[in-house]
Amino acid sequence: MELNGKKKLHALSLAEKIQVLEMLDESKMSQSEVARRFQVSQPQISRICKNKEKLLADWCSGTANRERKRKRESKYSSIDEALLCWFHIARTKMWDVTGPMLLQKAKELADIMGQEFVPSIGWLVRWKRRNNVCFGQRHPTRAVHPLEPLCDKGPVPASLSLPQLLKDFAPENVFGCGEVVLLYKAMPGREQEVREQLCVVLCVNGSGTEKQKPVVVGRRLAPRCFFGVNTETLPVLYRSSANSQLTPELFSEWLTDFDREMGRQHRSVALVLDAERRCPNPEPANIRLVFLPPRPRHDDSPSPCPLHPDIVRDFKSRYKRRLLGKVFSIGSETDTSPASIASSITVLDALHMVAAAWDKVQPSLVERCFGEAGCSKGKGSFGPSRHPPPRGMSLEEFRRFVDMETELAYPPTLPPTGAYKEEEEEEEGEGEDLFGSLPTKADALKALGTLRRWFECNGSAEGVFRQFYSCEEEVERLCCQ
């Protein structure tokens, strides 16, 4: 019991406030019902509704700290904004930005504005926290060979072959990037009944040794299954757009981050893209963009990007095997039909399965595919990888299941308005248990004991226990924080 009978104040983060707004917009729940689910007072929900436009603007800006619970305005807001603008310009130009440099620039801006202001280390720490800023050294390009961007030239000229364009780059410095449309909860034979799709953006280098974190684009800004989840620690990047497609703005954001990472590593790399992509402005400093010529529809000829038929099929095979495994393992202990279990798969479930499937794609396969396209001297195993079909399915049935998005020619269009309403009602029913209470440290430790006991009773291999010990150690570390 709290002292003096006072309830402990429970503040919501920006991400949780966005979930509150989505829940109010998409369901018929009252503010009081939402308040009970988030364990806050009804007046707090009312204030969130009153500040809806400002909260959405902060969320979409990309600069706000989404896990921060309170936003205290600075006394010197004009200096805050001016310094943030200068910081973004410095990042774009790949300057080396340091703390002392920011303090000096803040003082210069204050003098220009005629304000009596002496920035301190404490002020800088709070400014970084308010604006979700982290900085390190932004190194300029240090390429051995000068990079001439192909952005203004469009697709690769017919007179130049890919090997000629990429001859100055080692295989580990040639990256390909492409998109995969995924019906993430579709089951065999029920393809036409499923509307939910995700766009998965994959990027890997020619030797298969560097797989960038996948970007998954969904329709919802903050799915309900994200309640209480720190999205920054997920193994994939989740973004949203109206039609679950990679928009030019989302691609530009990803490319800017990738360019900065290459600058930090003092590397100059080539990135091979489809012809439909457009060069962003400003152009990346550490990346040479190479656009492939347009490809006829259903053309399965070799391509250096991750959408090479063999690589995308390998990735999707691994994802859909995990989907079937999850559905059938749950079905073995319940009387629920596989279709009903699959419909309860959440976006968060799909993100973890995407990460696991992408991690299992073998470097030898990637290297061979890049080699076939002439981007590198691939030495990987030849012939497409073959995955045995799951139990109860023939090889042809599994192939059709893996290729269902291609065979259905799934259109990147929005479903009818009524379909959204029906989908939202379904999700509301599926997510009832998500908001009861978040798992506690005691719950996590108890689950570890249950899992270990299950391994012990089912004769698991020794390697499984080594992986379990690593997981157990991490959980115990987090519990001690």
Token couple for 296:
């006829």
25-53 tens-digit pLDDT? 766 678 888 888 777 888 888 888 888 87
Where the chain has pLDDT below 70, the residues are 1-10, 26-28, 57-75, 92-94, 96, 132, 134-161, 190-194, 279, 281, 293-307, 373-387, 407-437, 481
The candidate with the shortest Cα–Cα distance to 364, out of 291, 310, 307, is: 310
**Whole-structure pTM value:** 0.64
Does an H or E element contain 109, and which? helix 99-113
Rounded Cα distance between 344 and 429, Å, is 9
CA dihedral 128, 129, 133, 136 (to 10 degrees): 70
Rounded Cα distance between 458 and 368, Å, is 39
179-192 tens-digit pLDDT? 999 999 888 876 65
| pLDDT attached to residue 198 | 93
| pLDDT attached to residue 61 | 57
Token pair 């226990």 in the structure block, residue = 465
| pLDDT attached to residue 212 | 93
| pLDDT attached to residue 238 | 92
Asked if 19 and 226 count as a contact pair (C-beta separation under 8 A), the reply is yes
Rounded Cα distance between 401 and 408, Å, is 11
| pLDDT attached to residue 190 | 67
